[in-house]
C-alpha cells in the first residue's frame, strides 16, 4: 500500500525513497501495536476491577478502533503523507486484539481447554487473510500493463479499481 501511494503521490518513482516510506509505515504500525497491547491491558483491567465488567466488554472498544482504521484508510488516506494515520490506528487495534483475546478466551472457556481454543482463535485469520491478500494482488495485477510492470504504480491504473 505504501509503495502504491508513494508512486501515486510523486512524478518520478524512486525505489529507495519508497522503501523509506514503507519502513516508516512499519514503524508506525509496530509502535502503536505495542501501545495497543499496553492500552487495552490497562483498560480491561480497570473495567474488570473497578466495575466488575467482563474483559469481553473491551472487545467493543477494539472493534471501534478497527472500524476507525478502515474509515481512516477509505476517506482520509489519499497520498503517502497521510498513510501513517491508518498504520497507527490499525497497529493500535491489532495490538489491542492480540493482547485482549487470550484473556477473553481464558475467561470464556477456562484453563482446561485454553491451548486448544487459543490455537483455533490464532489460526482463524489464515484463510481470510490469504484470500484477501490474493484478491488485492489480483486487482492490482489486473490494472497493470504487462509490457510495463511499473504502470501498476501510475495513478491512472490505481483509479480504475475492481
Asked if residues 96 and 40 have their Cβ atoms less than 8 Å apart, the reply is yes
> First and final CA of the chain: distance in angstroms?
16
Residue showing cell 519502513: 23
pLDDT at residue 150 in the model: 54
- For residue 152, is pLDDT > 80? no
- For residue 99, is pLDDT > 90? yes
How high is the mean pLDDT of the chain? 87
Q: Please report the sign of the dihedral spanned by the C-alpha atoms of residue 42, residue 45, residue 51, residue 55.
A: positive
Amino acid at each position: 500500500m505504501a509503495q502504491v501511494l508513494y508512486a501515486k503521490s510523486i512524478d518520478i518513482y524512486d525505489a529507495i525513497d519508497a522503501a523509506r516510506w514503507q519502513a516508516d509505515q512499519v514503524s508506525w504500525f509496530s509502535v502503536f501495536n505495542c501501545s495497543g497491547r499496553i492500552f487495552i491491558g490497562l483498560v480491561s483491567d480497570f473495567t474488570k476491577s473497578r466495575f466488575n465488567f467482563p474483559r469481553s466488554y473491551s472487545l467493543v472498544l477494539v472493534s471501534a478502533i478497527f472500524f476507525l482504521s478502515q474509515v481512516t484508510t477509505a476517506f482520509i488516506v489519499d497520498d503517502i503523507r497521510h498513510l501513517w494515520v491508518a498504520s497507527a490506528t490499525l497497529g493500535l487495534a491489532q495490538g489491542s486484539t492480540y493482547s485482549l483475546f487470550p484473556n477473553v478466551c481464558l475467561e470464556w472457556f477456562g484453563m482446561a481447554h485454553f491451548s486448544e481454543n487459543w490455537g483455533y482463535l490464532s489460526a482463524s485469520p489464515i484463510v481470510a487473510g490469504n484470500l484477501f491478500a490474493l484478491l488485492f494482488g489480483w486487482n492490482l495485477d489486473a490494472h497493470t500493463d504487462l509490457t510495463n510492470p511499473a504502470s501498476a504504480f501510475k495513478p491512472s491504473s490505481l483509479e480504475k479499481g475492481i
